[in-house]
Structure 1
Amino acid sequence: MQRFKNKIALITGGTNGMGFATAQQFIQEGGKVIITGRSETTVKNALSNLGENASGIVSDAGNMKDLMRLQEEVKKHAEQIDVLFVNAGYGRFAPIEHVDENHFDELFNLLAKGPYFTVQQIVPLMKTGSSVIFNTSIATDIAMHSFSVYSAAKSAVQSFIKTFALELTEKGIRVNGISPGHIKTNIFNNTGLSAEQIEHAVQDIISTIPLKRQGEPSEIANAVLFLASDEASYIHGAEIKVDAGISVIR
């Protein structure tokens, strides 16, 4: 299939996990991608695997200076963006009594402020028929221990889907979201947990998932590409759960 021939996607946080898998599939279906990442090393590594139809920008989605430069950086690679996957993020988790201001601000800057101003900066490069897709989380539907700040920040993104859909309708830009369940990514890398602790946490999580396995990044990419495609031309202001049913089967 060549659903995205002559189309260009901007994928924030596209150096690994769900963002990287989406970039791979977008290219496989005829498109070109621009990915962002916080590290020059990870951006270069991703580009070496994605090939000639990918370009990259070193940009921190939680840094306001980088966000305000994003439009100009994107223009160095493309005059127009057809698909924007607002994906960049990671998790940091702690019980209420251990959360400090730095923890709170770090997650809200990255997961709420970042997506908001990413869209603000890129919308001028998007035309009628373009698509914005936010990455939310099942943490907005399920109370999870130590996820209070992460869940609240992702809930803000969930709200953006509705309000941005309203405002961008007049521009002919569709806005939707995906709500991933427990996916095989590096979400725990910034938690300070050891490899053994992370593995223990993952096994505890798997026991709660109806299908008894974590999702693959490619399964999220499938949903993103569907929302970005003409097949989803009448889907607007929606959020699709890709979570093995965990948010409804307990």
Structure 2
Amino acid sequence: MGRLEGKIAVITGGNSGIGLATAKRFVAEGAEIFITGRRQEELDRAVEAIGSGVTAVQGDVSRLDDLERLFETVRAKSGRIDILFANAGLGSLAPLGTIDEASFDLTFDVNVKGALFTVQKALPLMQDGGSIILTGSTTGSTGTPAFSIYSATKAAIRNFARSWALDLRGTGIRVNVLSPGATETPGLKGLASAGEEDALLEGLASQIPLGRTGHPEETAAVALFLASNESSFMTGSEVFADGGAAQV
């Protein structure tokens, strides 16, 4: 039997990158999963890549009606949630002095508002002993040039876990943060100018003690640990999958 045999998991932003790698791993470990993403075409490709045991619901986590539709689908099909991975997020580069209101609002709406209401609307379906995983980032605890807005959203995510661990006292539900470092995802590569993706990854790798950037599957392995009963005495914690980047 897999480590998530019989479990019901919801993964937002499950159509690419870390979310997709985690969806594949959860299904391989026996879970039935629901994934979301904003673009239907990418969701369709993700479902094909994952195979069986997956239901895709198109939606934007910053829109509360989309979240309602997601959790109504989960309620109707499975009736409960054992694992919630609030993973959807985005960011863009903008040094202080060039930040505009639209990009600020978009980043906070998706990364902070989206995470908050994803968790809050999922709670009625969460089971005793359930696991909530929030995607943080090394940028939430380190300074990063031209990335202050994204970094601030991830600092907020870290405090959400600390505060919600107290709010959830007595429910048996635990909440932890999974903070990747530089990981080879479409989102990270999208920060580079056209043709500069390799240079971006090489520059990031030079700052990482392990000497390379991470792979989505490596972060998915940590998500599996936080989703499983192996992390049953952990709540309010932050676990880094960063090659040591934020640790030394």
TM-score (norm 1): 0.95
Q: Which aligned pairs between 1:77-156 and structure 2 lie closer than 5 A?
A: 77-156=77-156
Which residue in the other structure is 2:203 paired with?
Answer: 204
Q: Does the 8 A contact of 2:34 with 2:54 survive in 1?
A: yes
Alignment deviations for residues 54-90 of structure 1 (CA, whole Å, 9 cap, x no partner): 1110011222332343321322432111000110112
Could you tell me which amino acid in structure 1 is paired with residue 147 of structure 2? F
Deviations 1:192-227 (A, max 9, x none): x43323332222111111111111111111111101
**Quick one: distance in 1 between partners of 2:40 and 2:189?**
18
Q: Quick one: distance in 2 between partners of 1:93 and 1:77?
A: 40
Give the root-mean-square deviation of aligned CA atoms: 1.4
Residues 12 and 87 in structure 1, CA contact (< 8 A), matched pair in contact too: yes
Aligned residues with identical type, % of pairs: 40
The aligned counterpart of 1:162 is: 162
Query: Which residue identity lines up with residue 161 of structure 1 in the other structure?
Result: A
After TM superposition, give the deviation of residue 140 of structure 1 in Å: 1.2
Give the letter for the 1:122 counterpart. A
- The offset of 1:49, in angstroms, is 1.4
Q: How many pairs were matched up?
A: 248
In structure 2, stretches of 5+ residues that fail to align are none
What is the CA distance between 1:189 and its match in structure 2?
A: 5.7
1:239 aligned onto 2:217:
no
Q: State the SS of the aligned residue for 1:103.
A: helix
Instruction: Tell me how far apart the structure 2 counterparts of residues 189 and 172 of structure 1 sit (CA, whole Å).
Output: 38
Which amino acid in the other structure matches residue 212 of structure 1? Answer: G
- The structural deviation recorded for 1:27 is 0.9
Comparing 88-97 and 113-122, the one that deviates more: 88-97
Q: Distance in 2 between matches of 1:189 and 1:67?
A: 28
Comparing 47-56 and 107-116, the one that deviates more: 47-56
8 Å contact kept, 2:90–2:150: no
Q: TM-score, normalised by structure 2?
A: 0.95
- The residue number in structure 2 matching 1:219 is 218
1:170-189, Cα deviation, whole Å (9 max, x unpaired) = 21101111111111111246
Give the Cα–Cα distance (whole angstroms) in 2 for the partners of residues 248 and 225 of structure 1. 22
